Amino acid sequence: MAGASVEEICEQAAFTRGAFYSNFRDKDDLAVALIEDYSQGEIARAEQAVDAIERAVVGSSTTPATVAEFIRRALRLFSSREESPLQYALVFSELSLYAARNPPVRAVFALLDEYIENSVTTIISRGLAATNLRLTVPTAQAIQLLKAAVNGSMVIGRLQRGDEDDDDAIIEPLTEMIMTMTEPID
């Protein structure tokens, strides 16, 4: 995004410059809007995934095997989106880098990241309570690790294996990661 001109962005999006400027002041404003949209989508998918866990747990035993299966189902639901998960990860990486290089966008990005972390903390707490688990690491650290693992594994999978949208390539490692960061509540 940093290297693209407004004209190039408009051409790729099939917008006129007038349409661009009627919606955004500049590229920074566009970046903030994209980051906000990304954030809302991630939170909505996380809520849906935990809703699915809560429904699945009702009347089930919470053995390590069933908990792992609940986590797999939730991760599959979380990773389902209209656009390619890989494309999503690449766009988010690009927006993150853009924010890191632009102080006004960085400030908004930090506020949104705090909002996401607070929302995801609540969502994760619901999922853990439903499965009778607790984190063995601080929640903020768990969230950072999971975000890095998801985005990193998608990009690395593409670079190393040419995976376009192989959700299964990340579902198992993420399930194991979550299982290692949790323990049953006595």
CATH number of the domain where residue 75 is located: 1.10.357.10
Mean pLDDT (whole number) for 147-160? 76
Residue 10 lies in a domain: no
Residue 40 lies in a domain: yes
Using 50, 70 and 90 to split pLDDT, how confident is the model at 180? very high
* Helix/strand number for the chain, H first, E second: 8, 2
Where in the sequence is the domain holding 158, given as residue range(s)? 27-184
Given a cut of 70, whether residue 164 has pLDDT beyond it is no
Given a cut of 60, whether residue 167 has pLDDT beyond it is yes
Task: Find the angle CA(88)-CA(89)-CA(92) to the nearest 5 degrees.
Answer: 85
Residue 22 lies in a domain: no
Lowest mean pLDDT, pick from 4-18, 20-34, 81-95, 141-155:
81-95
- pLDDT at residue 2, rounded to an integer: 67
Residue 135 lies in a domain: yes
Residue 138's SS3 state is coil
Whole-number average pLDDT of the chain: 82
Residue 16 lies in a domain: no
pLDDT in tens, 35-45: 788 778 878 88
Residue 76 lies in a domain: yes
Residue 124 near residue 147 (C-beta atoms within 8 A): no
Residue 61 lies in a domain: yes
Residue 134 lies in a domain: yes
Task: Give, to the nearest 10 degrees, the angle between helix 85-101 and helix 139-161.
Answer: 120
Query: What pTM was computed for the model?
Result: 0.70
Q: Which two tokens stand for residue 138?
A: 């601080």
Considering its fold, how many domains does the chain have in total?
Answer: 1
